[in-house]
Structure 1
């Protein structure tokens, strides 16, 4: 199944906004929480960007899991199960030595499955993430939007003849295999994709260590393909950590404000920013060296428009960052994350 969004070019997408965000990040004065960052990777991935997070996140430890390197310091027992097996390996092996907040991410610095308001930058997003709020929620998907998957959710009762969504007919069987034959499988699972999240130590330990061992074994022993098992687990993390929560649907602008300190005035304000972001992305996809040779005037016009969009986007985002400095605004916006 193809995602609705495609990977974006990274070289020109990031506005020079990281420094402004770093200077606006508030400090609580409390003892910093301990943070473990678990990075799911293959040997060829460049994860050097994670080291820069030490500049903005105190008490950070990085655990890079490498699926295809059996001599790496951290690796799964077998190169299988995509990021899910690496995550479960960490959860099982470090069950007794977890950090206060444990963050699970892919190796890409600029994944497509991250909000435009985060500049689609993991470094920016994690530097802005309010770790105290993660402790309150206990589980938080780093992607606030439902656009990357199916906003209407996944129906666990569908058969292969009733849906063209590859994983949908297999979710119920997978849930019973991982959580027990006697569980009540929800009809619908709704939430953001794509297996990048932060979770508290308490939420992890609300399940026995044997649960993580069991899911590791299922991933290594199943004859289902990796793409299928990986996609299924994208939908099951809230169920795992929040005990049978089938719906993880939050209002984007409220969530960005409470969790990332990026406070747009309302949904319309965020939509204006997102429209600017989307137009920039489309223009960048149209611009290339070959097109510049063939249609130089069109490309020059596109570049002028890009510059205008860059300035407008910066203005909107800096305003949201400034509003994010006001605790009262963040409290009001984030009081009910499901409100319009």
Structure 2
């Protein structure tokens, strides 16, 4: 506190008050954080803005460090966030909102990449002391409705009684919009550090009936599948560009009962299109849920536009049609959420660690998730690990979706619309949080064998057997690549020699120097391909047994359960 008192406390005011009449006072009291008082922007008293919107007579504003830091030009930018409370209502540390104010729109007002409640202080990277800074003031002409244009001005600030010149890097004040979606809350804890939170001393629930705060993941009771052979209504939701070919959804899925909804992201005249071409497939997925929330089918599959893609299951020759054909609607009903990719790589078991400080250049989404976390999930702690198999293709049950208020999906989509994050990265962020939204689990890496067996009816016996299948498959691929290179260099093989020898025999034989490598490679490919066919045939046979599938999934089987 003593160090903070030396660095921060004092009165801040613009040098050129004739043009920018903005000021505030920072002090330290008995409470946590820094106390922000007498906050005026362009002669507007910000406390009166809060009072007008919420009826709070004496709003209390505190600044808390987020510990998010960024090095730039020999300096470190240290982030703080403002927390709005009320000194007349017990000193709640949460953002004060009434029934008509939504905090989710606060960060839609940004200057560059700085939110309305974010303060960035610049310090010298070598000494750790704060140095001369500049202020960006976001002004409005009306405290209730923000002006169409944003005025930004850099001005130097001086702290009284402090021997060094200090200035704020960012102070942004914007007006508050009225709530337009269903989720409302009174108190949202603010982040102190990655994974740390200041908890409100008030009640933990925001509804009189004791229901959880709106951004706690709702509890989901596993669904009960219909009787074997019963009809399930099904929707296939696909995001595509105008150039991508989705004809396979008509030619290959005919008669499959899948109701196909194809959203064309870059064609606003298309029958189905998202409100904005941002966030890749995430924008489409959320738009479908929002638009159809009151009329959802039993089962919804969310997929990319390609029939064949590297991230589809290799056991099914990367074919989306085969994955849909073999998909267990019963498992989706029980689980509520099922990632369509069973193989753990990439993504599991601990792909992202958003709580770390140092940025991994190979995982840019890791740092971005940390920065965006409190915007997407207000009040939720940042997880230490966040993982699921890639790549944003999954299946949902209607019951699972309906446990989450529609307004929350509106909030998620609004974040995509408002964020300054690059399109590819905002989509990548969502690739690794879908499971959290729908399951509440930070790590969703189910057994590969259970996923394949119970989810698709391909039962190898265990994860080791699954891994052996994949290793063999990948070895065939590598051997084929080696064989292609050899053929380009040395020509054709001696077919008679290849036909006469098995792989084991060739290992001991001494074919001609020209043919030896190629013969061995071709024999290896043939033998391993034959082995894979045998393993898959056996796995499909096991998968036809509902008792075996139940055992693989770790659930009890009752006669007549079906799959």
Same fold? TM cut 0.5: yes
Aligned counterparts, 1:26-65, within 5 A: 29-54=228-253, 57=256, 59-65=257-263
Residue 268 of structure 2 is aligned to residue 73 of structure 1 = no
Residue 395 of structure 2 is aligned to residue 176 of structure 1 = no
Partner of 1:8: none
Partner of 1:294: 489
Residue 460 of structure 2 is aligned to residue 241 of structure 1 = no
CA distance in structure 2 between the aligned counterparts of 1:285 and 1:151, rounded to whole angstroms: 29
Q: Secondary structure at the match of 1:64?
A: strand
Does the Cα contact within 8 Å between 1:190 and 1:246 map onto a contact in 2?
Answer: yes
Consecutive unaligned residues of structure 1, counting only runs of 5 or more, are 1-26
> Bigger CA drift: 27-36 or 212-221?
27-36
CA distance in structure 1 between the aligned counterparts of 2:281 and 2:355, rounded to whole angstroms: 26
Deviation of 1:31 (Å): 2.4
Query: Which has the bigger relative contact order, CA under 8 A and spacing at least 6?
Result: 1
Work out which of the two has the higher radius of gyration on C-alpha atoms and give 1 or 2.
Answer: 2
Partner of 1:254: 450
Partner of 2:298: 100
Residue 199 of structure 2 is aligned to residue 199 of structure 1 = no
Partner of 2:461: 265
Deviation of 1:56 (Å): 6.9
CA distance in structure 2 between the aligned counterparts of 1:238 and 1:63, rounded to whole angstroms: 22
Q: Secondary structure at the match of 2:285?
A: helix
Alpha carbons of structure 1 residues 39 and 205: separation in structure 2 relative to 1, 3 Å: same
Aligned counterparts, 1:318-333, within 5 A: 318-333=537-552
**Over residues 82-132 of structure 1, what are the superposed CA-to-partner deviations in whole Å (9 max), with x where a residue is unaligned?**
111111111111111211111001112222123322322211111111011
Alpha carbons of structure 1 residues 309 and 71: separation in structure 2 relative to 1, 3 Å: farther
Q: Secondary structure at the match of 2:372?
A: helix
Alpha carbons of structure 1 residues 29 and 249: separation in structure 2 relative to 1, 3 Å: closer
CA distance in structure 2 between the aligned counterparts of 1:28 and 1:123, rounded to whole angstroms: 25
Residue 277 of structure 2 is aligned to residue 116 of structure 1 = no
**Over residues 182-220 of structure 1, what are the superposed CA-to-partner deviations in whole Å (9 max), with x where a residue is unaligned?**
222222212111100001111112111111221112112
Deviation of 1:28 (Å): 6.5
Alpha carbons of structure 1 residues 265 and 285: separation in structure 2 relative to 1, 3 Å: same
Q: Residue 382 of structure 2: which of 185, 208, 224 is its match? A: 185
Consecutive unaligned residues of structure 2, counting only runs of 5 or more, are 1-225, 494-516, 556-563
RMSD: 2.3
Does the Cα contact within 8 Å between 1:140 and 1:199 map onto a contact in 2?
Answer: yes
Residue 277 of structure 2 is aligned to residue 82 of structure 1 = no
**Over residues 28-61 of structure 1, what are the superposed CA-to-partner deviations in whole Å (9 max), with x where a residue is unaligned?**
653210110011111111222223553573x310
Alpha carbons of structure 1 residues 301 and 168: separation in structure 2 relative to 1, 3 Å: same
Partner of 1:306: 525
- TM-score when scaled to structure 2? 0.51
Alpha carbons of structure 1 residues 237 and 95: separation in structure 2 relative to 1, 3 Å: same
**Over residues 261-316 of structure 1, what are the superposed CA-to-partner deviations in whole Å (9 max), with x where a residue is unaligned?**
0011223322332122111222344465x864433246676445433333221111
Q: Residue 478 of structure 2: which of 282, 285, 310 is its match? A: 282
Count of residues in correspondence between the two structures? 306
Q: Secondary structure at the match of 1:144?
A: coil
CA distance in structure 2 between the aligned counterparts of 1:170 and 1:214, rounded to whole angstroms: 18
Does the Cα contact within 8 Å between 1:113 and 1:148 map onto a contact in 2?
Answer: no
Give the structure with the larger strand fraction: 2
